[in-house]
Each structure stands twice: as C-alpha cells, then as structure tokens.
Amino acid sequence: MGDAWAWRWLGILLDMNHRAVTYKLALASIASDERYSEILRHGSLSAGIYAPHESDEQESHPEDRIYVVLNGSGFFTVDGDRQPFGPSDLLFAASDVAHQFEDFTPDFAVWAISCPSSQGGS
C-alpha cells in the first residue's frame, strides 16, 4: 500500500463527507516535496496537515491559526516569544502575526486549522 492507496482512500473519505481522517492517512497525503496538505474545507474553516522538512518557511497568515502537535517537538515562536512544544500541545497564532516553528525534530507534524480572524479577539 503506497501513496496512491492513501490518496484514493482520502478522496473517498472527503467525497463521502466523513468527519474523521486519521493522522497517518493525512500524513500519507503529503507528497515528498510538499509541506502542507489541506484535508478539510468547510466554508471559511480549513484544516490540513503541516510537516515542514528542515525549516519552517511560512509567513504570517490573514486568518487565525491553531496548531495541534501530532508528532515531534521543538520551539514555537510567536511575535518574538519562543516556547517549547511537544506532542498533543495546542498552539495559537493570531492573524497577521509572525510565527515560526524552530529547532524541531525530523518527525514533526501538526494539524493546522485556519479560521477567519477574530479582529481584536475576545
């Protein structure tokens, strides 16, 4: 069972509107030269798996972003504040705020969940 198998089943899951996708299936959906794969889109809500290879080159986003650490550890820097993270941790970056994963292990992967900015939050 290779990548083609994973892609086929992922497509079936999404076509059938299933509400659950496993981490392993989502991770298999990322091509070897990619870092991100969107798994779900519902209106303005988006969820995908993000697994950078050696460095995190993302820039700030126009939407709020929640990350759930699936695997690995490292540091998450948001607007200059650097904090350690590990599996199962929940991380948040507000819209248009610089953030980056740093010094992470090779097995690092997160669910990346994007939603419209709260515009000032509450």
Domain count, the chain: 1
Q: What's 54's domain CATH number?
A: 2.60.120.10
pTM, entire model:
0.79
| Band (24; pLDDT cuts 50, 70, 90) | confident
In tens, the pLDDT along 68-98 reads 999 999 999 999 999 999 999 999 999 999 9
Q: Single out the residue of 94, 93, 108, 91 nearest to residue 35, CA to CA.
A: 108
Q: Which residues constitute the domain of residue 85?
A: 33-115
Higher-confidence position of 29 and 86? 86
Written as six digits, the tokens of 5 are 């198998």
Per-residue CA distances from 66 to 11, 53, 60, 113 (Å): 24, 20, 13, 5
Q: Which of 2-11, 19-28, 38-47, 109-118 has the lowest average pLDDT?
A: 2-11
Q: Is residue 9 part of a domain?
A: no
Whether residue 2 is contained in a domain is answered as no
Decide if 22 is inside a domain.
no
